[in-house]
């Protein structure tokens, strides 16, 4: 694979100040005179989903990036009228594409290139899914043996089914009384229950098998089947002899967002999640399993995404009868048993029967927190706070007043505490909730995230890395794509390594690959191979970042981090001098607009918490604003703070090494001091 070589830092001019030396290189004339990558060279060009290598010339001017060469059959057309039709196919094989640096024509070309790539990717995904589904149908899933004291569901729930509709017995009960309804069903000898909407209905007395065999598909209904073992025999069959007196009984509610079929079937884990919350969830479970003072009674996996329909696009469909027992593979730990099902399946199986000391919700989303309160009976509830998508302040995605009220009610429960991944998130929640929510600081280091991320076969702290590249992970508008694109122009001799994850869409990749000093690689589970090539980590986030796990990961390896000085990143980047304050760009995740001339702190106080979401607006002007946010290149002034800090580090290897070692020392101290505090916090919550 072609990549930019190690040709030194900057434009080659010597003995001048940063401003005098670099300002010229951001313009056409000086770029042509000083930058060695200007000569004809091997260049990757776009052909559907592939980026082929062909000899071509890449020329950057003050207004555009010109790419010329053979793009293969079905390549790009220079016809400007075709460029306006994003879905059209292209005719010309050998052309020159001029990608403007700003304006409507840049957005059009980026959309054209991205749509062409997405069509090819969609075809590949369709073929891969067909093969994957066929393989899953014949493949046996690994199972794990339940611990002696682990919770086992007695009730079974048939998703999307009803039996003998209309034959209700007595008056319906509210879903909040489902535990009482189950008790009444067993004691009264009824055949089962039907959950429909917000109510539960009793079915007549008959054999449960008769009720099950008569089941038929019914949208929005779920059939609850009682166990063959009477409730009065349950205690005689169970024992708590192996439970230590000081052990906390804990149940965890997670979602399919944290675990997918790769987690179930492949010890290699997820390779391109782009989401630290997945690994954080696994580290949390690993920490609970490894603790002698914790009895992990149950792990519930709430799957709101995958349908049980045969035509479901997912290869991991929810079973009709559930919940099902799965074995979750955790990095660096033995598999953990989990019960996976829909909301109704977990509610019908666990409500009134799963009793623990502490219930933990991996997410703070409303459906997850509400389900935790409904199906788990606990002395105290803990909600993990990993982001700002909350019913308080301007950054949440909910705008419906009724939904906001219900969400707030579940979080403000008297026995509920939010464990926040940064002090800034704690303060944010306290401020915007008017102190109605109890919060506790809980860094990911508290449950061993960074011990686990090092890998099973390496020691802590990890080996020092001193690569040649400036690396950015998950480039996208929220993570600072506009800043990166400008830096690639301002520092043309610097090799930028971009790790594409689920955050990085085709629209972002086509822009990155247009720059000769940017190399794009896919995300991988072996983060060490990425950091080995990294000299400086760039984290120019333009939204509210709750912490920044990659920042601490890099610093543990002696890699200095240049980041935005806002929200949780101010705590994750341990060198204040490498944090860039007052960046006048904000990506509003709710409206998907890019706000200019305002920093994150100012936006936090000025944005209307009830402003409309992107789904509520369908105008041409709004669509253009959203497209602009995904194709915008920051101005020199907006990226200057990052350019200065990068240049200072890259031009002085000794200073870069000293900064990396200091950051490593502070990162190791942070991880060491916080180790074990999560389990301690759970005990404190109960006591």
Summarize the confidence of residues 340-347 as an average pLDDT.
Answer: 93
Structure tokens, 51: 């980026």
Please tell me the predicted confidence (pLDDT) of residue 81: 32
Summarize the confidence of residues 211-221 as an average pLDDT.
Answer: 90
18 pLDDT exceeds 60? no
Please tell me the predicted confidence (pLDDT) of residue 621: 79
Considering only residues 279 and 20, tell me which one the structure prediction assigns the higher pLDDT: 279
One DSSP character per residue, 543-578 reads S--S--HHHHHHHHTT--EEEE-STTHHHH---GGG
Please tell me the predicted confidence (pLDDT) of residue 643: 97
241 pLDDT exceeds 60? no
Percent of the chain with pLDDT over 90: 51
Please state the pTM of the whole predicted model. Answer: 0.80
276 pLDDT exceeds 60? yes
* DSSP reduced 3-state for 643: helix
325 pLDDT exceeds 70? yes
Please tell me the predicted confidence (pLDDT) of residue 128: 61
Reported as a pLDDT band with limits 50, 70 and 90, residue 539 is: very high
Please tell me the predicted confidence (pLDDT) of residue 13: 36
* Number of other residues whose CB lies within 10 A of the CB of residue 181: 24
Highest mean pLDDT among 132-141, 322-331, 541-550, 610-619: 541-550
Candidate from 246-255, 355-364, 605-614 with smallest mean pLDDT: 605-614
Reported as a pLDDT band with limits 50, 70 and 90, residue 21 is: very low
Q: Report the alpha-carbon distance of residue 410 to residue 404 in Å, rounded.
A: 10
* DSSP reduced 3-state for 364: coil
Candidate from 225-229, 355-359, 483-487 with smallest mean pLDDT: 225-229
Summarize the confidence of residues 17-21 as an average pLDDT.
Answer: 35
Please tell me the predicted confidence (pLDDT) of residue 88: 28
Q: Report the alpha-carbon distance of residue 619 to residue 523 in Å, rounded.
A: 35
| pLDDT tens figures, 366-403 | 999 999 999 999 999 999 999 998 999 999 888 888 88
Summarize the confidence of residues 332-339 as an average pLDDT.
Answer: 84
Considering only residues 82 and 256, tell me which one the structure prediction assigns the higher pLDDT: 256
Reported as a pLDDT band with limits 50, 70 and 90, residue 565 is: very high
314 pLDDT exceeds 90? no
Structure tokens, 105: 């024509």
Helices and strands (H and E) in the chain: how many: 24, 26
Please tell me the predicted confidence (pLDDT) of residue 226: 92
Nearest to 159 by CA among 215, 214, 111, 104: 215
Reported as a pLDDT band with limits 50, 70 and 90, residue 99 is: low
Summarize the confidence of residues 68-75 as an average pLDDT.
Answer: 34
Q: Report the alpha-carbon distance of residue 292 to residue 381 in Å, rounded.
A: 21
For the chain, the straight-line distance linking the first and the last C-alpha, in angstroms and rounded, comes to 58
Candidate from 97-101, 435-439, 558-562 with smallest mean pLDDT: 97-101
* Number of other residues whose CB lies within 10 A of the CB of residue 134: 11
Please tell me the predicted confidence (pLDDT) of residue 341: 93
| pLDDT tens figures, 155-178 | 999 999 999 988 889 899 998 899
Nearest to 589 by CA among 397, 421, 403, 407: 397
Candidate from 56-70, 91-105, 597-611, 660-674 with smallest mean pLDDT: 56-70
Please tell me the predicted confidence (pLDDT) of residue 556: 95
267 pLDDT exceeds 80? no
Reported as a pLDDT band with limits 50, 70 and 90, residue 94 is: very low
Please tell me the predicted confidence (pLDDT) of residue 627: 85
Candidate from 11-25, 109-123, 231-245, 619-633 with smallest mean pLDDT: 11-25
Q: Report the alpha-carbon distance of residue 287 to residue 149 in Å, rounded.
A: 19
Q: Report the alpha-carbon distance of residue 493 to residue 14 in Å, rounded.
A: 14
685 pLDDT exceeds 60? yes
Summarize the confidence of residues 597-605 as an average pLDDT.
Answer: 93
356 pLDDT exceeds 70? yes
Reported as a pLDDT band with limits 50, 70 and 90, residue 278 is: confident
**DSSP state letter for 177:** G
Q: Report the alpha-carbon distance of residue 411 to residue 365 in Å, rounded.
A: 10
Percent of the chain with pLDDT over 70: 74
198 pLDDT exceeds 80? yes
218 pLDDT exceeds 70? yes
Give the class (CATH, top level) of 463-674.
alpha beta
82 pLDDT exceeds 50? no
Q: Report the alpha-carbon distance of residue 682 to residue 662 in Å, rounded.
A: 33
Summarize the confidence of residues 64-68 as an average pLDDT.
Answer: 54
CATH pick for 156-228 out of 2.40.128, 1.10.3470, 3.50.4, 2.60.40: 3.50.4
Reported as a pLDDT band with limits 50, 70 and 90, residue 348 is: very high
What mean pLDDT value characterizes the chain?
Answer: 78
């Amino acid at each position: 694979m072609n990549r930019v070589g190690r040709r030194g830092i900057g434009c080659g001019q010597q003995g001048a100040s940063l401003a005098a030396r670099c300002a010229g290189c951001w313009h056409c004339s000086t770029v042509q005179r000083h930058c060695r990558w200007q000569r004809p060279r091997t260049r990757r060009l776009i052909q559907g989903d592939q980026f082929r290598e062909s000899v071509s010339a890449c020329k950057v001017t003050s207004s555009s990036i010109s790419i010329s060469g053979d793009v293969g059959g079905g390549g790009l057309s220079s016809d400007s009228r075709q460029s306006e039709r994003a879905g059209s196919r292209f005719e010309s094989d050998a052309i020159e594409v001029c990608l403007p640096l700003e304006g409507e024509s840049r957005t059009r070309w980026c959309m054209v290139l991205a749509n062409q790539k997405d069509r090819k990717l969609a075809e590949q995904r369709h073929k891969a899914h067909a093969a994957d589904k066929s393989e899953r149908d014949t493949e046996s899933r690994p199972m794990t043996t339940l611990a002696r004291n682990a919770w086992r569901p007695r009730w079974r729930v048939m998703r999307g089914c009803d039996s003998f509709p209309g034959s209700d017995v007595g008056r319906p009960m509210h879903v909040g009384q489902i535990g009482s309804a189950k008790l009444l069903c067993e004691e009264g000898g009824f055949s089962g229950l039907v959950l429909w909407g917000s109510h539960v209905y009793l079915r007549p007395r008959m054999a449960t098998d008769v009720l099950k065999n008569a089941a038929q598909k019914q949208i929005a209904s779920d059939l609850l089947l009682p166990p063959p073992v009477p409730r009065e025999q349950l205690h005689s069959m169970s024992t708590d002899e192996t439970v230590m007196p000081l052990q906390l009984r804990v149940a965890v509610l997670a979602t399919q967002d944290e675990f997918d079929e790769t987690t179930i079937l492949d010890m290699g884990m997820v390779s391109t999640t782009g989401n630290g919350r997945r690994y954080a969830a696994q580290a949390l479970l690993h920490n609970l399993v490894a603790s002698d003072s914790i009895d992990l009674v149950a792990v519930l996996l709430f799957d709101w995404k995958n349908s049980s329909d045969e035509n479901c696009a997912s290869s991991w469909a929810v079973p009709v009868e559930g919940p099902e027992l799965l074995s979750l593979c955790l990095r660096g730990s033995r598999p953990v048993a989990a019960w996976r099902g829909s909301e109704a399946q977990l509610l019908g199986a666990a409500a009134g029967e799963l009793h623990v000391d502490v219930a933990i919700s991996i997410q703070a989303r409303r459906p997850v927190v509400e389900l935790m309160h409904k199906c788990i009976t606990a002395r105290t509830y803990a909600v993990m706070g990993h982001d700002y998508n909350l019913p308080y302040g301007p950054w949440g995605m909910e705008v419906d007043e009724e939904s906001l009220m219900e969400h707030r009610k579940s979080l403000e429960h008297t026995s509920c505490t939010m464990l926040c991944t940064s002090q800034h998130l704690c303060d944010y929640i306290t401020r915007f909730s008017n102190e109605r929510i109890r919060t506790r600081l809980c860094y990911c280091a508290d449950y061993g995230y960074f011990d686990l991320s090092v890998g099973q076969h390496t020691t802590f702290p990890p080996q020092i890395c001193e690569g040649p590249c400036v690396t950015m992970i998950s480039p996208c508008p929220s993570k600072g794509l506009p800043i990166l694109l400008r830096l690639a122009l301002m520092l043309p001799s610097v090799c930028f390594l971009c790790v594409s994850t689920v955050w990085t869409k085709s629209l972002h990749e086509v822009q990155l690959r247009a720059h000769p000093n940017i190399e794009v690689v896919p995300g991988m589970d072996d983060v060490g191979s990425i950091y080995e090539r990294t000299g400086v980590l760039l984290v120019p986030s333009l939204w509210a970042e709750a912490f920044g796990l990659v920042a601490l990961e890099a610093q543990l390896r002696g890699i200095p981090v240049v980041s935005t000085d806002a929200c949780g990143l101010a705590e994750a980047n341990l060198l204040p001098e490498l944090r860039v304050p007052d960046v006048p760009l904000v990506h509003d995740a709710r409206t998907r607009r890019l706000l200019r001339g305002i920093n994150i702190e100012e936006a936090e106080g000025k944005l209307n918490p009830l402003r409309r979401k992107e789904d509520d607006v369908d105008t041409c002007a709004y669509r253009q604003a959203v497209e602009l946010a995904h194709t915008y290149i920051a101005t020199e002034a907006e990226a200057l703070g990052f350019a200065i800090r990068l240049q200072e580090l890259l031009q002085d290897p000794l200073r870069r090494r000293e900064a990396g070692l200091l950051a490593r020392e502070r990162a190791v101290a942070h991880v060491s001091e916080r180790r074990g505090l999560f389990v301690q916090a759970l005990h404190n919550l109960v006591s």
